[in-house]
Structure formats: C-alpha cells, structure tokens
Structure 1
Amino acid sequence: MKTTIKKGKTDFKLAMVLLFPSLFLLLLLVAYPMFSNIQISFFHLPINPRLDSTFIGLENYINILSDIEFLKSLGLTVLYTALAVGGSTVLGLLVAIFFNRPFMFRKTARSLIILSYVTPSISLIFAWKYMFNNSYGIVNFLGGDVFHLFKQAPLWFDNPVSSFILVVIFAIWRYFPYAFISFLAILQTIDSSLYEAAEIDGASAWQKFKIVTLPAIMPVLITVITLRSIWLFYMFTDVYLLTNKVDILGIYLYKTAFAFNDLGQAASISVILFIILFIVIIAARKRVNFNGNG
C-alpha cells in the first residue's frame, strides 16, 4: 500500500514537471494578457508610457455601450458573422455531400477545393482587389465590356453596401473548405446501409438527409458553427485589407486603440466581446450536451 502511494506521488511530480513548460507559456501568453487587459479597461491609459494612467472605474464601459457607432459596428459584425458562417457552412456541407462518392480524380478535386483555405490571406486579398479594380479588373471588364451589365464600372470597394457584400462573399469562399473537410470526414463514417434502408422505405433525398445525415453530423455541425463564429467575430485582417468602408468590431477596436489613442476603451471593447463569445460558447456546449455528445 505504501509503495502504491509513493508511486502515485512520484507520477504526479513527474507529470507536473512535464506540464510546467506548457502551463508557464499558458499563463504568460494567455492569462497575464487577459487579466492585464481587464485591468486596463478600468483606466484612462495614455499611449506615452511615461504619463500616469487614471482610474475611471466603469466609465469606459458606459461610454462604449452608449456609443451609437459601437452599436452599429456590433450589429454589422453580427450580420457579417451570421451570413459568412451560414454561407460557408451550407456551402461546405453541400460540397462535402457531393464529394462523398467515388468518381474520377476525386483526390485531385479535393485538393483543389482546399486551396483557398491554405493559401495565405494576403495573396487572396490582393487577387480579389485586382479582380474588382474599377480600371483594369476582370469583373468590370466582363460585366461592362463583354456582357454590358452596366455602363460605368462600379467602385466595388468604395461603396459601403457593395463592400459589405464582397467581404461576406470573400469570407464564404475563403473559409468554406474548413466546413467541407469537417463534414466530409464525418460523412465517410456513416453506414451506407442506413441510406439503403431509408431508400427501401421510399424516403426521398431530403428525408434521407433529415433522418440519417443530419443527426450524424449534428455534433460536427455545432462545432464548425461555434469555432467559425468565434474566428469571424474577431475578424480584422481580411476586411481591413479589402476595404475601409466596413467597420466591423475588429476594425472599430483597432481605430479606437491606435487612431483615437484610447487604449482603455479598446480594452473595454475586447472584454465585452469576450463576454459575448463566452455566452455563445456556453450555449453551444449545452446544445452539444443536449444531443448527447458533450
């Protein structure tokens, strides 16, 4: 009995020694910045580190929550996230269902599908800006000179409405391969005899999807939607490089911190975003547990 206890203590010490580098990096790179950010949100912090910060309590949060521009940015971000996540998820599922069958050059086609996901964002963004350039872009050339859809070339990324539509389409096209890979992996685990039994019972294609496919992919579906919502809710790079007409929260936060030099309000914005996403994650986890997969 003594030997067992001693061995257990030894294993625990060894485990802690092996985990220490990871725990130290986690505390240094995640926990410390997070608590430091929360602390900054209660101060008026000047850019110049030589100047003293001033404790102002909840003033930053009150100012942000009462700022109409923040609320507009929040609404725009929610709409952007909903459209991009919904579009990329549906497109990824449809393509995964189409590719979940044998056909010639299937592996090559799958490799081509994920190119938009593995290619660096900067290359894709400048390719899109080149395509939609009002002077020499291929889109305006085809739409104006070839098909005569419009007389004057639209300024795609200079108009708020068209800019928003394009950044949503870009996000759907850019990130649907993630959903495609996830759904294709789970679709290949579904027993084909279930589809055969449903077909014998006279089930239509939609009924087979609803009865067999949807319950099987539900855990993956919830995971894909949750993770992609988190990533797109914090989106900055893609939208910022594509256009300056779409002020989603990532760009609004950036402008607050570095254009208006208000680090305290920027920190309070990030805390508010964290709370929103935390609620979303908890709700999604409860939904997964409800489906028996938590």
Structure 2
Amino acid sequence: MKILKKEKSDLKLAMILLFPSMFLILLLVAYPMISNIQISFFEQPVNPLLPATFVGFGNYIDILKDGEFFKSLGLTFLYTFLAVAGSTAFGLAVAIFFNRPFRFRKIARSLIILSYVTPSISLVFAWKYMFNNGYGIINFLGEDVFHLFDHAPLWFDNPISSFILVVLFAIWRYFPYAFISLLAILQTIDTTLYEAAEIDGASTWQKFKIVTLPAIMPVLVTVITLRSIWLFYMFTDVYLLTNKVDILGIYLYETAFAFNDLGKAASISVILFIILSIVIVLSRKRVKF
C-alpha cells in the first residue's frame, strides 16, 4: 500500500511539474492548428467583425485545381532537396576535415558558424550587394576582371539564376548546422576502428562506408529530417532575396495577404502539413537505426 501511495504521489507531482509545459504546448501549438483547420473550411474575411461563410471543402478543391499550386509545390520540393542535400553533404565534408587536430582549429570553427548565427536580413543584403548589377563584386570580377560575360547579368531578376542563388544561399547559410551536429558524433567514434580497417587494407571510401557512415547515421537522418522541415516551409530568405522564386511559402503568403484569401491560405498550410508528414514518415521507415 505504501508503494502504491508513493507512486500516486510521484505521478501527481509529475503532472504538476509538467502542467506549465503542457499548457504552453496546447496554447501555442494545438490551438493554432485546430483554429487553422477550422478556418480552411470557411471563406474568411480579413475583417474579424464580418461573418465567415462556410464553404466545406471548396478551398481544398480550388487549390487542387490551381496549376500555380502544383508549380510551386514542385519548385519547393526541388529547392528543399537541393538545399538539404547540399548543406548536409558540405557540412559532413567540413566536419570530417575538422575531425583532426590542427592549428587554429577553434578559431576556424567559430568562423564557420558565423553564417548560421548571423541574422538572415544581414546575410541577404550582403548577397544582394555582391550580386548587384551596378557595383556588385561578382559582376565586377566576372565582367571587368575575368571577362566571363559581356554585360553584368541581373542575377535576381531572372527566374533560373534566382533559383540557383537561393539554393546556394541556403546551402551556405545552413551547412553549419550539419557541421556542428556531425562533428559532435564523429568525435565519439573510436579511432581503433579506423586502425583495424586500415590493417585489413580498407581504402578511404571503405573506411567511411563501413565505420563512419553507420556511426553517424542516426544523427544524419535527424539532421536531414529537421532541415527538410525548416526549408520546406522557407519564406524569409527567399522573399528577401528575390520575387522570382515562387516556392510554397511565397505562394501561401501572397494568397493570404496579397489576395486576402485567408480560408484558401489556411487550407494550403493543412495540405502542406499532410504532405510533409507523409514524406517524413516514409523516409524514416526506410532507415534502420
């Protein structure tokens, strides 16, 4: 009886301690999600004093009939894939390089993470300055120094070059996250495993495949999953860099605040949540931890 009373007392204490966190989760996550789903079934006016009109699945049907939505969806998948693959591969390569002692390693690590901790607005304007048509360093080097082109390109006014630049920006901006996470797990690998593989005649690639990759796989999958979520919903970086890359974040923003169609925008976010959830579940099932 004493053990049972103690367990009940511990459970009560645990519930009391967890209540503030649970309340915040319900307030900041659950309530907005439920409210967003509710709005997606209405034609919601911008003025909250005006009544909303119930349209059922009308907003979802309109989206699925909209060719621009599927165009933005495909562009978003391509952007997410290239940015995640590039930033993860680059971060892993840099982490492997830094997983050894050399002079000024700590200073170099600090410099690498600068792009990740610096506010996005500062980095965006630095990139726009570098690629400026009149005084950017890229056009100066390409046109005046190396004569790679006859006239300075308008980098952020062309859809193709704009897309390439936003992908490169995302890779450069977010590779330190993969670098930090993968370097931490690389430093836990026993060096004797590499020595044993080397004695057996394993090449550099074989040592990476047999020793390194299985050890870092749980962290690697987590990095890819989290980065995919963040980049799939990307808005700020792309919106500030250019208006020529209509990924879903831009499409959703314009639907909500340019066309004032809040119900349709809410239904877009629900569809995106469903798509991303399915992709993440399927991708994680294919990986054995």
Query: What TM-score bracket applies, with the shorter chain setting the length?
Result: over 0.9
Structure 2: segments with no counterpart, 5+ residues: none
- 1:3-23: CA deviations, max 9, x gaps? 222222222222111111111
Give secondary structure in 2 for the equivalent of 1:82: helix
> Given the alignment of the two structures, is residue 40 of structure 1 paired with residue 39 of structure 2, yes or no?
yes
AA at the equivalent of 2:189 = I
Give secondary structure in 2 for the equivalent of 1:11: helix
Give secondary structure in 2 for the equivalent of 1:267: helix
Equivalent position of 2:58 in the other structure = 59
Give secondary structure in 1 for the equivalent of 2:202: coil
Equivalent position of 1:144 in the other structure = 143
Within 2, Cα distance between the matches of 1:242 and 1:195?
44
Alignment of 1:44-193 (within 5 A): 44-193=43-192
Runs of 4+ in 1 over 6 A off after TM superposition: none
Range 22-31 or range 227-236, more displaced: 22-31
Cα drift, residue 203 of structure 1: 1.1
Equivalent position of 1:19 in the other structure = 18
Cα drift, residue 51 of structure 1: 1.4
Cα drift, residue 165 of structure 1: 0.3
Alignment of 1:186-265 (within 5 A): 186-265=185-264
AA at the equivalent of 2:236 = T
Contact 1:222 1:284 in 2 (8 A): no
Cα drift, residue 90 of structure 1: 0.5
Range 118-127 or range 2-11, more displaced: 2-11
Cα drift, residue 287 of structure 1: 3.5
Give secondary structure in 1 for the equivalent of 2:50: coil
AA at the equivalent of 2:113 = I
Within 2, Cα distance between the matches of 1:281 and 1:147?
45
AA at the equivalent of 2:8 = K
Identity of aligned residues (%): 82
> Given the alignment of the two structures, is residue 281 of structure 1 paired with residue 257 of structure 2, yes or no?
no
> Given the alignment of the two structures, is residue 271 of structure 1 paired with residue 270 of structure 2, yes or no?
yes
Contact 1:60 1:265 in 2 (8 A): yes
Range 274-283 or range 215-224, more displaced: 274-283
Cα drift, residue 79 of structure 1: 0.2
Cα drift, residue 39 of structure 1: 0.5
Within 2, Cα distance between the matches of 1:196 and 1:91?
25
Give secondary structure in 1 for the equivalent of 2:30: helix
AA at the equivalent of 2:38 = Q
- 1:2-49: CA deviations, max 9, x gaps? 222222222222211111111111111100000000011011111111
AA at the equivalent of 2:126 = A
Within 2, Cα distance between the matches of 1:216 and 1:152?
50
- 1:217-242: CA deviations, max 9, x gaps? 11111111100000000000000000
Within 2, Cα distance between the matches of 1:216 and 1:10?
41
- 1:234-280: CA deviations, max 9, x gaps? 00000000000000000100000000110011000000111011112
> Given the alignment of the two structures, is residue 8 of structure 1 paired with residue 7 of structure 2, yes or no?
yes
State the number of aligned residues: 289
Cα drift, residue 56 of structure 1: 0.7
> Given the alignment of the two structures, is residue 28 of structure 1 paired with residue 38 of structure 2, yes or no?
no
Cα drift, residue 72 of structure 1: 0.1
Contact 1:157 1:242 in 2 (8 A): yes
Within 2, Cα distance between the matches of 1:204 and 1:32?
54
- 1:185-207: CA deviations, max 9, x gaps? 11111111111111111111111
Structure 1: segments with no counterpart, 5+ residues: none
Contact 1:163 1:246 in 2 (8 A): yes
Cα drift, residue 286 of structure 1: 2.5
Length-normalised TM-score, structure 2: 0.98
Give secondary structure in 1 for the equivalent of 2:196: helix
AA at the equivalent of 2:176 = P
Within 2, Cα distance between the matches of 1:10 and 1:89?
47
Give secondary structure in 1 for the equivalent of 2:100: coil
AA at the equivalent of 2:76 = T
